[in-house]
Amino acid sequence: MDRPVRVFGVPMDLGADRRGVDMGPSAIRYGGLTDELESLGIDCEDGGNLAVPSPSQTDPESGRPPDGRAKYLAATEEVCRRLADEVAGAVDDRRVPLVLGGDHSIAIGTVGGVARDRDLGVVWFDAHGDFNTPETTPSGNVHGMSVAAILGRGSFAGSDWAEASGVDPENVAIVGLRSVDDEEAAALRESDVTAFTMTDVDQRGLPDVTREAIGVAADGTDGVHVSLDMDFLDPTEAPGVGTPVRGGASYREGHTAMEIVSRKLGRDLASMEIVEVNPILDDHNRTAELAVELAASGLGKRVL
């Protein structure tokens, strides 16, 4: 990485159904993020945390669409609008945004900010599809709707805060799927999004899948956003996540994927975010420290 980075923390837990993920940015910073990146020679500037209302300050019914469910939607919109502005400012300053969550709903703001005035591809490492809409969600949790929101599906269509006009579904690739709701799965199959399940990973190997995902995202775009949900990893490696699913990537596979991201994208890496670290559920900050390691690999760290 030969470009400066600006870090943003978004202590957001409104999109999830388990509290604690709001402490994720602090845990990742405590895990040594700045020191790790600066040891690579990266100019790392910390932009601080965005203010996020707590669930006790917010009406969970506020902003729900009339024909669907989406908890804390109005507050999520407010946070994502502000995050998009901050991220766009970092891009204007020629810094690579590195956004720390918080739950995965923050990706709506990150992508919205990076995709302003550019065609953006997205590689989404996640155990879940995040392809529900307020009309199909079984839980009402917005962190399970992020990709759908970015692509303007369901009642997100035409939204000026969620739908990212610079993102085409043909340039979105999801890697690591192993827990998808029935309606969500049907919508993914019918969409132009490229989805790789862990079965694909088992059959082809994660390096091959990651390279193809990057190729999908980079095809005809001006840059690629990489979104890493820590539940992409197996819970034995990353226990501190709110929605763990067995059968995820190993420690070494996680590093390999991020090293390929760095090698294949280079200056085409537009932004990165790491989300869903929940210190309450973690074991001696293992998940946050792994998040730091993976961020470093994604930004250029090598064994040799």
Q: Identify the pLDDT of residue 288.
A: 98
Three-state secondary structure string covering 13-41: CCCCCCCCHHHHHHHHHHCCHHHHHHHCC
- Binding site listing: 104, 126, 128, 130, 229, 231
Choice among 128, 237, 255, 293 that is catalytic: 128
Choice among 130, 184, 259, 289 that is catalytic: 130
Respond yes or no: is residue 93 known to be catalytic.
no
Respond yes or no: is residue 284 known to be catalytic.
no
Q: How many CA atoms lie within 13 A of 34 on its CB side?
A: 14
Respond yes or no: is residue 128 known to be catalytic.
yes
Choice among 13, 36, 103, 126 that is catalytic: 126
Q: Which two tokens mark 180?
A: 């998808």
Is residue 12 within 8 Å of 79, Cβ to Cβ?
yes
Q: Which of 148, 143, 155, 152 minimizes the C-alpha distance to 132?
A: 148
Respond yes or no: is residue 276 known to be catalytic.
yes
Is residue 145 within 8 Å of 16, Cβ to Cβ?
no
Q: Which of 92, 34, 32 minimizes the C-alpha distance to 271?
A: 92
* Alpha-carbon gap, residue 98 to 128, rounded angstroms: 21
* Alpha-carbon gap, residue 92 to 209, rounded angstroms: 32
pTM: 0.97
User: By CB neighbour count within 10 A (0-12 exposed, 13-18 middle, 19+ buried), where does 26 fall?
Assistant: middle
Q: Which two tokens mark 90?
A: 């970092």
Q: Identify the pLDDT of residue 67.
A: 67
Q: How far is CA 128 from the centre of its chain?
A: 11
| CATH superfamily for domain 5-298 | Ureohydrolase domain (3.40.800.10)
Q: Identify the pLDDT of residue 64.
A: 78
Question: Is the peptide bond prior to 102 cis by the omega test (within 30 degrees of 0)?
Answer: yes
Using alpha carbons, list the distances in angstroms from residue 270 to 99, 115, 149, 183, 231.
Answer: 12, 9, 20, 31, 22
Residue type, 136: T
* Alpha-carbon gap, residue 274 to 261, rounded angstroms: 14
Those residues of the chain that have pLDDT short of 70 are 66-67
Detail the DSSP E strand segments found in 165-285. Answer: 172-177, 194-197, 223-229, 269-275
Q: How far is CA 218 from the centre of its chain?
A: 17
- Binding site listing for Mn(2+): 104, 126, 128, 130, 229, 231
Respond yes or no: is residue 78 known to be catalytic.
no
pLDDT in tens, 42-67: 999 999 999 999 888 888 888 777 66
Q: Identify the pLDDT of residue 59.
A: 83
Q: Which residues contact 115 (CB under 8 A, 6 or more apart)?
A: 164, 165, 166, 167, 225
Q: Which two tokens mark 213?
A: 């995902």
Respond yes or no: is residue 231 known to be catalytic.
yes
Choice among 78, 184, 231, 289 that is catalytic: 231
Using alpha carbons, list the distances in angstroms from residue 28 to 7, 88, 144.
Answer: 11, 23, 22
Choice among 36, 77, 168, 229 that is catalytic: 229
